[in-house]
Chains A and B, each alone.
Chain A
Amino acid sequence: MTALRRIGPALLAPLLAIVTALVISGLVIVLIGESPFAALRVMLDFGDTPAQQTQAIVVIVNRAIPLFLAGLAVSVAFRMGLFNIGVEGQYRLATIVAAAAGAAVALPGPLHVLLIIVVAMVVGALWAGIVAVLKVTRGVSEVISSIMLNFIALGLASYLLTGPLRGSPPGASIITTAEIPESGWVPGLNGLLTGVGLAEPRTEMYGFLLVAVVAGLMVSVLIKRTRFGFDLRATGLSPSAATASGVDARGMVLKTMLISGAVAGLIGLPDLLGTSHHYGTEFTTGLGFLGIAVALLGRNSPLGIALAALLFGFLDRAAIPLQFEGIPASVVTIIQGTIVLAVVIANQVARQITRRQAERGSAQAVAPPSTGNGSTGGGQRPGGGPPPDDGPTTGIGTGTGVRNASGDARQGAGA
């Protein structure tokens, strides 16, 4: 019962959000003259033959892997109250440099892949590191600087692609980097699927899934089971309290952004190493921004993010069968949009429920999250010193979600 009460609110918010989004989307579908139930049936129909059904699973998982990594990258910074809006730029730049590095060398299989992964993580971390350095030395809000750095990263990636790193012949419609030799490819996981008795799908499931799982586990352990993770969560909860208890806030900002950026560097790799083998003008964009939505929906926990990524992958796949039924693909975009919107609202509702419960059992409850509610407002700080901790107060909508999620994590860790 206590376990249910503890997990309840954590599940309540996303569930509430998804139900609200489904209701709103259902109304939209009714408005355009189609049946929402027919739409739901179509979305849940994975195909007639076993091969088609496995293929649908592969499509969903392949879409979910980069979304999971994007959500993970965003969540690491979120946990500490930092808004890394720059994941988009970080992964685009990391992917093109990693693609070029991978194409430039020839190494034996695993080493080649490892090199590409390391290059991508380093580039992503360095690009995110700029944000951290600006924040700790000059007090620049990471929201502003990471958004601005997105534009620079996209421009830089475009320059590199059309200039020094161009590998496609002149005149080709799609400009790409040179192809990564086969030793740098990550083989698919279809053997695994057929091994458990599923039919052979048409395309390969990305082998990078394993790397994503390892990354998720590592982030999970890092945040929940290490001193660093404790400091990170403490800083996210109450920067001033953390600083007072001896946490080096500046160092934490730097380290957190480096980790966030390193994870962001991985986002483009499932695609790069699994199918395309080069970075080009048609490379999937926007994953960094979707990652923010996925992290919000997953409430910043790796498991939640994985589920959120799978949900987004599922909705994405549904866009095609929906169109066969005459329902426009934009319905899926509406569902995704309303989910994110509803999640922000639901987080607030769940937080109030949690608080009420905490107040009811006030004796054993830890300090309610309301103490961290904007009490450390930045900007009006006297003196020239850089404010190391004005992160959580800058955003209103997302701020509540972040603080709330950290609150749950703290409860979980305390138990």
Chain B
Amino acid sequence: MRRVRGMKAAALLLAGSLALAACASDEPEAGGGNGGGSSAEELKIGLAFDTGGLGDKSFNDSAYAGAEAAVEALGGTVEENLQTLSPNDDASNRAELLTQLAQQGFDPVLAVGFNYDEVIGDVAADFPDTTFAQVDGANSDGSKGENVTGLLFAEEQGSFLAGVAAASKTETDHIGFVGGVESPLIEKFEAGYVAGAKAVNPDIVVDVSYLSPAGDFSGFGDPQKGKLVAQGMYQNGADIVFHAAGGSGVGVFEAAVEAGKRAIGVDSDQYLTAPPDQQAVIMTSMLKRVDNAVEEFITAYADGSVEGGTDVVYDLESEGVGLSTSGGYIDDIQATIDEYRQKIIDGEITVPTTP
């Protein structure tokens, strides 16, 4: 027992010595038991990531940002109120991640990614008193349990607008799409993008390419391959390429810089995080606000207004998806984009979800 305490002290010392002052000063409090009574202090949020884990600069990080914002808005701190878990390299321990979080008393527990489809139902059934949510996972029929909420996005609607922007801006009537993995989720991006481009110009040529086949998730983390494929598209005459390829998208931007052509980012406003030479080519980004969805869900949980057994859909109307305007490259066609946006919201245009 003494040795354990000694180790704890050593851990604290080390943490302190590396100037993690914030963490270090919080830890004795956490060790001292949950003495506080306010709702923020009782909040224990569990966040389980998918392949790539924290630091993937993609959807996992976006979910984390949302959880962070929610915790801070509720007056808590990330160190005390938020526990994140990344899966192992092959993500074979997804069920174990959720189980451990629920077992340790974290509530709500959020799973990031459709890959949790297979396991979240079983775990939720084992922990009926815990509230679960799954980003990108549907539970409209309640088949995963009454304590699971699906946080879904209408990616095809946002991608439709990306297609509209690309078709309006292209000078060669030839654009491209680079998908990370040929999976139903990414095919939604492709379907929307192609439909949007064809809505503006029925004769437009759209090159479509995926970096890896279904079942092989390397396509989300292979910038080299993304660059190669995008280079091919630019050489074939495409002048704007939209990527839905996670971490591989950096390669697409690099290819655009080298070719002097343009690219469209995905998920977050990639203009904001890109180096200056790439900012010049990132025309816009198709936003998928995972952060907003996560933040809203946690806030709703704190309010006690989570229904469960249903989906919350983030679409153009709720601004869960959309186009970024950083850099001002699409300001001149904003009227066209808004027009299509309104048509989709009004139901005049139904965007396909499969190519």
Chain A residues with a Cβ under 8 A of chain B: 30, 33-35, 37-38, 41, 52, 59, 63, 154-155, 157-159, 161-162, 170-175, 202-203, 271, 276, 280-287, 316-317, 319-321, 323-324, 326, 328-330, 332-333
Contact = CB atoms under 8 A, between A and B. Distances in A.
B215 A158 contact: yes
A373 B216 CA distance: 39
Contact of A158 (B18, B20, B97, B213): B213
Contact of A59 (B89, B96, B213, B215): B96
B90 A320 contact: no
Contact of A316 (B8, B18, B93, B185): B93
B215 A161 contact: yes
A161 B214 contact: yes
A30 B14 contact: yes
A142 B213 CA distance: 25
A52 B103 CA distance: 9
B84 interface: yes
A316 B89 CA distance: 9
Interface string B207-232: 00000011111000000000000000
B100 A320 contact: yes
Nearest to A173: B114
B9 to A, nearest CB: 9
A158 B185 CA distance: 16
* Top-7 shortest CB links A-B: A158-B213, A173-B114, A35-B11, A33-B18, A284-B92, A281-B215, A38-B11
A41 B183 contact: no
A172 B90 contact: no
B68 interface: no
Nearest to B86: A329
Nearest to A283: B215
Given A154-B216, A280-B118, A319 B184 contact: no
Contact of A281 (B90, B104, B183): B183
Contacts of B8: 35, 38
Given A33-B15, A37-B10, A323-B86, A171 B354 contact: yes
B7 A173 contact: no
A254 B182 CA distance: 36
B126 interface: yes
B92 A63 contact: yes
A63 B53 CA distance: 20
Given A281-B183, A324-B83, A158 B214 contact: yes
14 contacts: A30-B14, A38-B8, A38-B11, A172-B117, A173-B114, A173-B137, A173-B183, A173-B184, A320-B85, A321-B100, A323-B85, A323-B86, A329-B53, A330-B53
B352 to A, nearest CB: 12
A320 B136 contact: no
A338 B53 CA distance: 21
Given A52-B103, A320-B93, A329-B85, 8 more contacts: A34-B14, A155-B213, A158-B214, A173-B137, A175-B184, A284-B92, A320-B96, A324-B104
A59 B89 CA distance: 16
A159 B213 contact: yes
Given A316-B93, A320-B97, A174 B11 contact: no
Tell me the interface secondary structure of chain A in the complex.
helix
Given A175-B183, A285-B215, A319 B117 contact: no
A287 B92 CA distance: 10
B22 interface: no
A328 to B, nearest CB: 7
Nearest to A290: B90
B334 interface: no
A41 B11 CA distance: 12
Contacts of A174: 114-115, 117-118
A162 B20 CA distance: 49
Contacts of B91: 282, 284
Nearest to B183: A281
A316 B88 CA distance: 7
Contacts of A33: 14-15, 17-18, 20
A173 B185 CA distance: 6
Given A170-B354, A324-B104, A284 B90 contact: yes
A172 B188 CA distance: 12
Contacts of B84: 323
Contacts of B7: 35, 37-38, 41
B353 interface: yes
A203 B95 CA distance: 10
A328 B90 contact: no
Contacts of A324: 83, 85, 100, 104
B110 to A, nearest CB: 15
Contacts of B11: 34-35, 38
B4 to A, nearest CB: 7
A118 B320 CA distance: 49
B55 to A, nearest CB: 9
B182 A162 contact: yes
Contacts of B99: 202
A170 B182 CA distance: 14
Nearest to B138: A173
A287 B88 CA distance: 12
A307 B288 CA distance: 45
Contacts of A162: 182, 213-214
A52 B102 CA distance: 13
Nearest to B20: A33
B215 A157 contact: yes
Given A37-B7, A171-B184, A282 B90 contact: no
A252 to B, nearest CB: 33
Contacts of B92: 63, 271, 284
Contacts of B95: 203
B190 to A, nearest CB: 14
A373 B4 CA distance: 50
A155 to B, nearest CB: 6
Given A33-B15, A33-B20, A285 B10 contact: no
Contacts of A34: 11, 14-15
Interface string B62-96: 00000000000000000000011111111111011
B96 A35 contact: no
Contact of A41 (B4, B53, B54): B4
A155 B17 CA distance: 50
Contacts of B18: 33
A327 to B, nearest CB: 10
A320 B88 CA distance: 9
B210 to A, nearest CB: 10
Give the interface centre of A34, A63, A285 by most chain B CB atoms within 10 Å. A285
Nearest to B8: A38
B2 to A, nearest CB: 13
Given A33-B20, A175-B183, A319 B93 contact: yes
Contacts of B114: 173-174
A175 B214 contact: yes
B128 to A, nearest CB: 14
